[in-house]
Amino acid sequence: MSKDRDNEREHDEEKNDDKQYKNEDGTLTTRQGHPVRDNQNSKTVGNRGPTTLENYEFLEKISHFDRERVPERVVHARGAGAHGYFEAYGSFGDEPISKYTRAKIFQEEGKRTPAFVRFSTVIHGGTSPETLRDPRGFAVKFYTEDGNWDLVGNNLKVFFIRDAIKFPDVIHALKPDPVTNVQDSERIFDFMSQTPESMHMLTFLFSPWGIPANYRQMQGSGVNTYKWVNEDGEAVLVKYHFEPVQGIRNLTQEEADSIQSKNFNHATQDLYEAIEEGNYPEWELCVQVMSDDEHLELDFDPLDDTKLWPKDQFPWIPVGKLVLDRNPEDYFNEVEQVAFGTGVLVDGMDFSDDKMLQGRTFSYSDTQRYRVGANYLQLPINQAKKKVATNQRGGQMSYKVDNDEGQNPHVNYEPSTMNNLKEAEMSGKPHTPYTEGEVKKEAIDRQNPYRQAGETFRKFKEWEKDELIKNLVDNLIPCKKEIQEEMIAHFKKCDEEYGRRVEEGLKNSSSADGSDQDSTHGGPAGATKTEEGVQQAEEHGIPSDPY
């Protein structure tokens, strides 16, 4: 009986301890928990004398403020995000989905998995306008029962290049000039004119598809080719596509310019307000499947990121829906610090030999370790919902040890006889692809850089073609003659009408204004009359007296 009373007394003391630690009256404190009694004035000698060094409250506050920003993402810096869930359909068309993958997230109809999505622009800075011509990022973190799965993609389904060794080059060409710090269309087309595989992506980027109206009404795509693996260790190649239930909307350059003059945060505001009002955006996740071989019957390599898989040969099969129903509570902690990696796969998924995927798999997670820190996966937005147990220790900003219950805290290695973590049992036969060949640097065989770009052009509606030609002409006008001629030649190989219309547009523009095209500099992608804008600011600026 006395033992029961002791237990009750200990429980009461615990409750009292919890109560004394609570801050029920909303008192402002320091990060050390000290009540702040004067948040308006620094400690000085007299009310106007020098500030003293023992201003702890001020020093803590200002030193944290100095460090409020982690390094900005090199790409995808401008972002917005939201929480939601993925709901599986539990099938693959008329077939059980287990025929293709053992990933638990897909198996059960109605099964919901928490998710977080980050939308972004690619090239421009963290506070840049959301109306700029630029691919849009569409990255999803699924918090599955087998750990996190990251699907890191874009709104456009193809990319500029097919080998990750060229990634720094294409991004450098799209980023601002290292001397002037201005994005320059001449630099962009200088690179692209020497990279024929970029024609397909350029056809999309300079069409209305290059400026989505908002994040809710744009597509998402995994872009890379992945694999699904079933219980028997058999694999198929897969591509992922998110289709917005809200429909798809894109902008012309003129419409984007008009919107930018009114609101350069329009897409972030649109997403936040829609969710706040209960108008939850939704996407259906569709998957294309292809047998895991070279597919020599195709005139392109299925691992080539510059190509689409034809829908008539490889139909889109819906496997679930993605719904966003909750806004972030804090932008920095969630949207800015969320970290994605193409290597973050769960059981039932695997990598293909897609050269872009192979390179991204190292680069993305390595970037987050540099940008956020070695322990970025301990942050709540990145942490798996599944219990994490690892022998990894230390590193900057580690604030806990990911031990399992009952684990011997003295043992941070494996194997061990002293009650430490042990390997998991196999969930199915391992996928063991066979490969042989010479180790060498060599391009893929079936490159075919023009056919799909031409098909995409011919599928465009007339107004989309008109917009594409206008945007290309406007951005090629400042380029050197040699670059213009190279690009015209590429476009003609895509489609004769395509190249001819660009060529005629450049001739008409040159004869209309009589300008020497070689003497000017290009401006940002999509922008026109950039030099006129500089002069207008100087001529129309209103004189003011100094104060």
Q: How far apart are CA 95 and CA 310, in angstroms?
A: 21
The question of whether 154 is a catalytic residue gets the answer yes
Q: How far apart are CA 496 and CA 494, in angstroms?
A: 7
Pairing of strands 226-229, 235-244: antiparallel
Helices (H) and strands (E) in the chain, counts: 14, 12
Cβ(342)–Cβ(110) under 8 Å?
Answer: no
DSSP string, 344-386: ---TTEEE---HHHHHHHHHHHHHHHHHT-TTGGGSTTTS-SS
- Written as six digits, the tokens of 87 are 């709901």
The question of whether 76 is a catalytic residue gets the answer yes
- Written as six digits, the tokens of 107 are 């198996």
Of 177, 170, 193, 203, the C-alpha closest to 484 is: 193
Q: How far apart are CA 87 and CA 106, in angstroms?
A: 8
Q: How far apart are CA 225 and CA 81, in angstroms?
A: 25
Cβ(117)–Cβ(84) under 8 Å?
Answer: yes
- Catalytic residue among 154, 155, 230, 327, which? 154
Could you tell me where the beta strands, DSSP code E, fall in 459-512?
A: none
Residues 53-57: contacts with CB within 8 Å, 24+ apart? Answer: 56/30, 57/30
- Catalytic residue among 76, 124, 200, 490, which? 76
Place of tokens 């301990």: 378
Q: How far apart are CA 237 and CA 251, in angstroms?
A: 33
User: Cα 262 vs. chain centroid, distance in angstroms?
Assistant: 26
Cβ(209)–Cβ(250) under 8 Å?
Answer: yes
Q: How far is CA 144 from CA 27, 130, 324, 383, in A?
A: 38, 31, 16, 11
Question: Known catalytic residues?
Answer: 76, 154
